[in-house]
Amino acid sequence: MIVHVATYKEGESEPGYWDNIDSRTHKVSLDYYRRESVKILSMFKEGLPGAEIEKASIDEAFVDFTTPVRQVLLQRYPYLADVPPNAPNGLDTPLPTPPSIEWNANTHLIPIDPDSETADQDFRTDPPTWHDVALHIAAEMMYKVRADIANKLGYTTSAGIARNKFLAKLSASYRKPFSQAVLRNLAIPCYLKPLEFQKIRFLGGKLGDTLAKEYDVSTVADLLPISLEVFQEKLGESAIWIYEVLRGIDRSEVKEKASVNKSMMAAKALHRPITKVSDGPHWIRVLSGELALRLNDARKERPSLWPKTLTMHAGSSKAPQ
């Protein structure tokens, strides 16, 4: 057995790499990963001033590049800042032709044609748009921050760059690990169609099971012919969100969260129920030790932080008695 994570055990104030660990008496510690996650997030904030950054989990975050990309866009193409005095239709006048884009080898372009190995041929038939230019600038920024993280902290990262959170998360897994991918608007339909819809965020649970059973299908392409009205009859309030996400539309915003959570939780899921009265106090002591350590870490950022309420829950196990 190779121990790759520290664990909490009764009688110790900090997690460690102990001999003879046992899931019946030890609890996995994610504290090291939480601390490293804070370092990585700090580097994103330092390297992307003006960007909105939302931490999604220990190893995942969403970045809204709107503000920093707009700044660079206007620096490089200042004629976009104002409507030309000779514009025939004022604000409704089409933008000038976008410049050609030289995509760096460090960024994977997801091709419009899913059977194509690269997206090189896409620009021969579909020239770049201003949205592509914006994605290109975001890709430059993202690569620089990722390279800094690799050099300073030694961690490899992957990124997906697209027009919304859903598509960015989806494209981040393209050509992993240690890579980044850009999903242009033109490539969205063909990229989504073969996808198993139950792999989409929030469609992997009961809602996804309902869709699969109701229509006896498995991919996004299978569901596209179904109208919004039919979805609404069957699925009610969820229908509009499902209809849109199948088409690559995600209206959720990137929102930065407070650096210190208002609550902390320590929990242990036991494979088998406890059978001795003494097991209860044992786990209370182990979980209390974890909370104490995490609280001390949080106080380094906010010294005045102090818990006001302690809540305990215990649930029955479905394991055989």
Q: What is the pLDDT of residues 128-158, one digit of tens each?
A: 999 999 999 999 999 999 999 999 999 999 9
163-203 residue pLDDT tens? 999 999 999 999 988 999 999 999 999 999 999 999 998 89
Q: Is residue 124 very low, low, confident or very high in pLDDT (cuts 50, 70, 90)?
A: low
CA nearest to 116, candidates 104, 105, 124: 124
CA nearest to 212, candidates 2, 131, 122, 200: 200
Query: What does the pLDDT average to over 239-253?
Result: 97
Cβ neighbours, 10 Å, residue 60: 11
Coil, strand, or helix at residue 7? strand
User: What does 55-67 look like in DSSP terms, one character per residue?
Assistant: EEETTEEEEE-HH
CB-based contact 68:50 (threshold 8 Å): yes
Residue 253 is classified by DSSP as: P
Sketch out the chain's domains with CATH numbers. Answer: 1-28+267-321 (no CATH), 48-187 (3.30.70.270), 197-245 (1.10.150.20)
pLDDT greater than 60 at residue 123: no
Q: 189: exposed, middle or buried (C-beta count within 10 Å: 0-12, 13-18, 19+)?
A: middle
Residue type, 127: P
Across 162-176, 180-194, 263-277, 306-320, least confident range = 306-320
The per-residue pLDDT for 257 is 81
Query: What does the pLDDT average to over 109-118?
Result: 77
Across 50-64, 280-294, 300-314, least confident range = 300-314
Strand partners, 62: 54
Q: Annotate 260-285 with b (16+ C-beta within 10 A) or e (fewer).
A: eeeeeebeeeeeeeeeeeeeeeebee
Q: Is residue 2 very low, low, confident or very high in pLDDT (cuts 50, 70, 90)?
A: low
How far apart are the C-alpha atoms of 317 and 134, rounded to whole Å?
A: 51
Q: Is residue 300 very low, low, confident or very high in pLDDT (cuts 50, 70, 90)?
A: confident
- Mean of the per-residue pLDDT values for the chain? 90
Strand partners, 109: 182
pLDDT greater than 50 at residue 320: no
Strands 108-109 and 180-182: parallel
34-73 residue pLDDT tens? 999 999 999 999 999 999 999 999 999 999 999 999 999 9
Token code pair at residue 283: 């786990």
3-31 residue pLDDT tens? 578 999 998 889 999 988 888 899 999 99
The per-residue pLDDT for 118 is 59
The per-residue pLDDT for 321 is 38
Q: How far, rounded to the nearest angstrom, does the alpha carbon of residue 102 sit from its chain's CA centroid?
A: 27
pLDDT greater than 50 at residue 226: yes
Task: Say what the pTM is.
Answer: 0.86
Residue with the bigger pLDDT between 236 and 275: it is 236
- What is the total residue count of the chain? 321
